[in-house]
Each structure stands twice: as C-alpha cells, then as structure tokens.
Amino acid sequence: MSRIKVANAPCSWGVLEFDLDGEAAGYANVLDEMAQSLYAGTELGDWGFMPTDPLVLREELDQRGLTMLGAFVPIALANPDAHEEGISLAVKTAGLLAAVSESPFLVLADDNGTVENRTRKAGRIQTEDGLTDDQWILFAQGAERIAKTVKEETGIRTVFHHHCAGYVETPEEVGRFLSLTDPEIIGLCFDTGHYEYGGGNAVEGLKSFAERIWHVHFKDCHPGIAGPARNNGWDYFKAVKNGVFCELGKGSVDFPAIVRELKARDYNGWIVVEQDVLPGMGTPLESAKRNRNYLLTLGL
C-alpha cells in the first residue's frame, strides 16, 4: 500500500537559489506557514537560510511537527574546477541533514542559470546546445564522486535534480545522465514542472525513469506562459517571473495521472510541492493552502 507523504519547500515562499529582486520571508515564518498549511515536511533551502546548528534546527522542526527530507545543492558539474568545493558543500549539507532527520536526500543539481546559452534558451533547448561526449563523462563522474563521498562520510543518499537552465533539462538529457551514472549510487529527483517545461510529458517521464526515481517534486507548468516564453525567446528568469511554474492543477501537468502512477508503483516516499513564488509575488501562504487542498482532492 502506497504511503505518500506531502512536503513543501522554501522556494514556494520566494527563497530561491537565484539572486532575484525582492526580500524573501525568514525561515521561522516559512516553517510556521508550512505547518499551518498542513504539510508534513520541508527541504532545507540554501545553506544558511535555516539554522545550521543541528540542535537548533531539530528543535525548530520538532515544535512544528515537520520532517527535514532533503536539501538542494547546485554545483557546476561541467566545470572540473568546481568539483572539490562542491564536495565540501555537499558533505557539509548532508551532515546537517543526517543530524536532524532519518533517510533524507541530498538533492544534487547543476549550477542552473549560470551558463548564458542554457539560461537564454531554457524551454527550447536543441541538441547543439548540449554537452560534448567528453563533457558528459566529466559531468556524470563528478556527480558520482560527490554522491559516493556524501554516502561514505554521512550515510546520506543522493538524487540528481534535472532542471531548466542547466545542462540536464530535456528528456533526452535526463536519459543520458542516468545512462552514465550508477543506479546504486545516484537516483533521480523527478520534477514534474521542469520536465514539462524542458519539453517532456511528466506522466511519460515518470513511467520511463521509474526505476531511478527516489524522490519527487510536484511543480506545474502553465502552457499560457510556457508558449509565449518559447515563442518570444524569454530567458529562464523572465519565464519564472511571469509565472511559468503556476499553482498545482492550473497548468499542463496531469497530476491525477501522476498520482495514480505513483500509487500503482507503491511509491512510499515524499513528494515536495515547489511553486517558485518570487518575493513580492502574491501570498505564499494562500498558494500553499490551495496547493495542499488540491492534493487532498487527489487522495494525498
């Protein structure tokens, strides 16, 4: 029997890994509103957003009845000079996770939004925009090395998050990354919204990569924004600012089918709601409540 648990993430309150205009909410407010919206867990957000003292962080989580289930760590994997610093950040982050929770994931990603061509062409990537064969090997080996080190030093498993405006965006790129990495060492964090904006169908992606999916992010993709973004050449940041990742159930992702597929496969992990709300864009609490109520209609 599937026992899917529902969490949210700080990005839904405007706490993004990108430097954008506006001031995001503080961690206490974010955690308060997550609990108020009936979510059972959270991810960490950027290092330093939440307390990094494990005793303090555990107390903050416990008093709200929240579980810490992962942390998003972006590293420029195509750049070998970034690997050593990336390992240090990953191990430090995973150590904090291990101290406050059972069985969380390190959510490894490319350093998205930092390569001009990939950022400018997010949502409409072509084959010629991708990595060379040698770069793919370097990228995959870097990811594996980080995941191995994190597991050896902290006991935490790593999942890779495909993401628009990074080098693993399209369905073909997701498949290429998985083909080059050991399924015993690194899993996939499947993100429904990024998969659709990256040119795929989330239900088909879930089926195709099911054996590698250890962690799931629920994000929607608004076709009324994605279409103009592609047609008018918007970069990733403009698409996000214009709301390409909308509230759940208002975009192109077929969440009823996604939930049916997860339950049919007896997925018993977490799903994390991610709706990239920019600072000053609407009221995150109300969006979080609407997203939670929508998932309740799907039996979650």
Q: In sequence order, what DSSP letters do the residues of 118-135 get, joined into one string?
A: HHHTTTS--GGGS--HHH
Does the structure show a pLDDT above 90 at 218? yes
In sign, the C-alpha dihedral spanning 207, 208, 213, 219 is negative
Residues 260, 156: Cα–Cα separation, whole Å = 29
User: What would the mean pLDDT of 189-215 be, rounded to a whole number?
Assistant: 98
Does the structure show a pLDDT above 90 at 142? yes
Looking at residue 1, what is its pLDDT? Answer: 47
Q: At residue 91, what is the residue type?
A: V
Question: Diameter of the chain by CA atoms?
Answer: 50
User: What would the mean pLDDT of 273-281 be, rounded to a whole number?
Assistant: 71
Looking at residue 22, what is its pLDDT? Answer: 54
Of 99, 79, 83, nearest in space to 147 by CA: 83
Query: Model pTM?
Result: 0.95
Q: Number of folded domains in the chain?
A: 1
User: What would the mean pLDDT of 23-31 be, rounded to a whole number?
Assistant: 85
Residues 138, 148: Cα–Cα separation, whole Å = 15
Residues 128, 161: Cα–Cα separation, whole Å = 22
Domain containing residue 52: 5-297
Residues 6, 216: Cα–Cα separation, whole Å = 10
Looking at residue 276, what is its pLDDT? Answer: 79
Going by the DSSP 8-state scheme, the letter that residue 168 receives in this structure is S
The enclosing H or E element of 211 equals none
Mean pLDDT is lowest, of 2-16, 39-53, 151-165, 204-218, for: 2-16
Does the structure show a pLDDT above 70 at 124? yes
**Encoding tokens for residue 267?**
């997925």
CB of 65 within 8 A of CB of 35? yes
Looking at residue 17, what is its pLDDT? Answer: 53
Residues 224, 44: Cα–Cα separation, whole Å = 31
The CATH number covering residue 186 comes to: 3.20.20.150
Looking at residue 281, what is its pLDDT? Answer: 54
Q: At residue 43, what is the residue type?
A: E
- pLDDT band for 25, please (50, 70, 90 cuts): confident
- pLDDT band for 268, please (50, 70, 90 cuts): very high
For all residues of the chain together, what is the average pLDDT? 94
Instruction: For residue 42, list its beta bridge partners.
Output: 8, 68
